[in-house]
Amino acid sequence: MGSTIAEKIIRSHLASGVMAPGEEISVVVDQTLTQDATGTMAYLEFESLNIPRVRTELSVSYVDHNTLQSGFENADDHRFLQSFASRYGIYFSKPGNGICHQVHLERFGKPGITLLGSDSHTPTAGALGLLAIGVGGLEIAAALSGRPYFLIMPEIFKIGLRGDLSPWVSAKDVILSILQKLGVTGGVGKILEYSGSGINGLSVPQRATIANMGAETGATTSVFPSGRNTLAFLTLQKRAGDYIELSADKDASFAGELTIDLSALEPLIACPHSPDRVVPVREITGKKVNQVCIGSCTNSSLRDMMMVAAILRGKTVHPEVSLVISPGSRQVLGMLARNGSLADLISAGARILETACGPCIGMGQSPPSGAVSLRTYNRNFKGRSGTADAEIYLVSPETAAAAALFGKITDPRKLGALPKVALPENITIDDSLILAPEKEPEGITVVRGPNISSIPTGEPLPGSMKASVWLRVGDDITTDDIMPAGARVLPFRSNIEKISQFVFEGIDPGFIGRARQSGLRGVIIGGENYGQGSSREHAALAPRFLGVRVVIARSFARIHRSNLINFGILPLTFPPGLREDNLEVGVELDFPNLRREVAESAPITIHDLTGSRDYRVPLDVTGRERSILMAGGLLNWIIRSTSQSD
């Protein structure tokens, strides 16, 4: 039997385990990427391992999240990241060079390799035919030390694309259609692998849009074949030497399949407040729009920007709409300036932002209270924009441009004939804002500002533990709910004590007070898909700093589950039929045999001290993960295992 693309890459990088779905495996990591909101902590964690130089083939530190310098904190972090990269063998992409996923696609990604990134949208690079997975910062630190990445072998799920896109329908509509069918949990435990004649008409940037938002299905990653379109993209980037052809064998076996007829698609829109609440644009046309944001790592390629410029050329943005544009990279911005598209955008009334994540991560451009904002981004979770009562819709660049012109949600097909956009046959390559590490690093001093604190150390798992329920939440709790982003919070990513003051503030402002006043450790009660969204390990690290040691939920999002384990928090899963109605806030719980039961792979005994009830809740983890939990977290486990091997 033949192999899928994902199986071929995993097999060529397999370090341990058996490639059977549900089995724990580990793979060698070729490349890593970080962004500044996660990178500072990841590098502090790596530094604590006392390893003089990174051991990956290539690692890149990007600055694209915390670029708003309204105080010293972000600028200090940038200085730390640059000096750290130079000292430890990491390439550094300076502020202004672009969004990590766009730049990595342009300058570093190549077919057949493995890429680990401390950002949940790292799978964007799967457009090139590589295995790109988003993880927490601690797992990046482990990879930098030369350790393989451990994961549960996913199922390989085939998405067949046939036909061609109709005018005014784009790659964003393809992935919105997939989200409409799979939902935000339909990709959990799966790698989405694309095939079919329909991919031949999709450029690498279009594939990147699809791979990027595959993360919203909960998928481990997404991967496309590497063929002539891949070669054309790499040739344009002056990197044809990085090309290899890679596709699934004709007799490859898949765990499931979904077929999308591209010719049958129409413009789609994801309604508030979830990426899978997808309907045709024509069903909600006419709704007044206050803001339009175009860009982010999902839709900021040269093709997307030039299409928007062509639609707006000679026209003016509606007087009651604020239109902001975020090109994805300095390369894209430079090409727009050279070919006149930037002038078209400015003349139409667009506000040009820097090449960064910006509004997508809540870093500026929050919409007015109660506003409707159409965005070409990948997430529309409630409050993520920085305005709690705003209605955020996710759309394609074409639909966004139409709304900017008409001042209301509009089917872009109303604009008539689709403008023709001729992409350049040659582009200007300028890597001057990507700094290579120092070849003789001994004289490099890592610069630390006063906002950069030390890493909190976690104590080993106790033999027994008393705790109380600090919070109870429902389904689809996001990492934005747990650890908010935005300009007010993000500057404290390297100061755990400070950032911990914001945990769960949008859900329950009284949470921090209960945590500080409690004399016991904390327990969180959750529903399905707890921790969906970004890879931010702070959503586990900050609760752990406050004293949370257990989360009991119906199910967990992949990255957040790993982050909980990495910081010594037990992710317990309610068994079917168990009612947790009595586990309300304030209930005190006793875990009398905690360490022994974790060590013996036994269900965890929980005694309700308030209601005199007993629960037996399974801890569904691997043997390696049990060892990490018993050590108090991954960092403790690595340090201990390293000292034992010495």
User: Residues 508-542: pLDDT tens digits?
Assistant: 999 999 999 999 999 999 999 999 999 999 999 99
Task: Say if residue 148 is in the same domain as residue 21.
Answer: yes
Looking at the structure, do residues 52 and 128 belong to the same domain, yes or no?
Answer: yes
193 CB contacts (<8 Å, ≥6 apart)? 4, 5, 6, 156, 157, 158, 159, 222, 223, 248, 254
Residue 589, pLDDT > 70, answer yes
CA distances from 627 to 151, 455, 543, 624, 637 (A): 15, 21, 21, 5, 7
Same domain, 484 and 389: no
In a domain, 460, yes or no: no
Going by C-alpha positions, the residue among 150, 149, 151, 174 that lies closest to residue 163 is: 174
For residue 234, tell me if it sits in a domain.
Answer: yes
Is residue 644 very low, low, confident or very high in pLDDT (cuts 50, 70, 90)? low
Query: Token pair for residue 535?
Result: 């890879």
Contacts of residue 25, defined as CB under 8 A and 6 or more positions apart, other chains included, come to 10, 14, 15, 16, 17, 18, 19, 150, 151, 152, 153
Instruction: Check whether residue 19 and residue 152 sit in a common domain.
Output: yes
Residues 272, 259 share a domain: no
Is the pLDDT confidence value at 578 over 80?
no
Q: Do residues 218 and 338 both lie within one domain?
A: no
pLDDT of residue 643: 62
Same-domain check for residues 480 and 602:
yes
Is the domain of 43 the same as that of 62?
yes
Q: Please check whether residue 430 lies inside any domain of the structure.
A: no
What local confidence, expressed as pLDDT, does residue 441 receive? 87
Interatomic CA distance for residues 122 and 193, integer angstroms: 15
Give the DSSP H or E segment for 550. strand 548-553
Counting the structural domains of the chain, the total is: 3
CATH number of domain containing 302: 3.30.499.10
Structural domain of residue 340, as residue ranges? 268-415
Mean pLDDT to the nearest integer, 94-105: 98
Provide the pLDDT confidence category of residue 611 given band limits of 50, 70 and 90: confident
- Residue ending a domain, among 264, 291, 318, is 264
Task: Kindly state the average pLDDT of the residues 538-560.
Answer: 96
Looking at 379, 394, 415, which one is the last position of a domain? 415
The verdict on residue 423 lying in a domain is no
Q: State residue 552's pLDDT score.
A: 96
CATH number at residue 515: 3.20.19.10
Among residues 248, 264, 280, which one ends one of the domains?
264
Estimate to the nearest angstrom the gap between the alpha carbon of 320 and the chain centroid.
32
**Residue 84 within a domain:** yes
Same domain, 121 and 39: yes
Count the helix, strand and coil residues of the chain and give each as a percent rounded to the nearest 5: 35, 20, 45
Query: Using one digit for the tens of pLDDT, what is the confidence trace for 123-138?
Result: 999 999 999 999 999 9
- CB-CB contact of 529 with 475 (8 Å): yes
- Residue 561 within a domain: yes
Per residue in 282-319, pLDDT tens? 999 999 999 999 999 999 999 999 999 999 999 999 99
Same domain, 65 and 186: yes
Same domain for 297 and 256: no
- CA-to-CA distance for 510 and 135, rounded, in angstroms? 30
Query: How much of the chain exceeds pLDDT 70, in percent?
Result: 99
Higher pLDDT, 614 or 327: 327
For 374-385, what is each residue's pLDDT tens digit? 999 999 999 999
- Pair (274, 260) in one structural domain: no
Q: What SS3 class is residue 643?
A: helix
pTM over 0.75: yes
Backbone angles phi, psi at 452, to 5 degrees: -90, 110
pLDDT for 641: 79
Q: Is the pLDDT of residue 646 over 60?
A: no
Tokens read off for 466: 């008393």
| Residue (of 502, 496, 553, 563) closest to 523 by Cα position | 553
Q: Is residue 469 part of a domain?
A: yes
Residue 441, domain member (yes or no): no
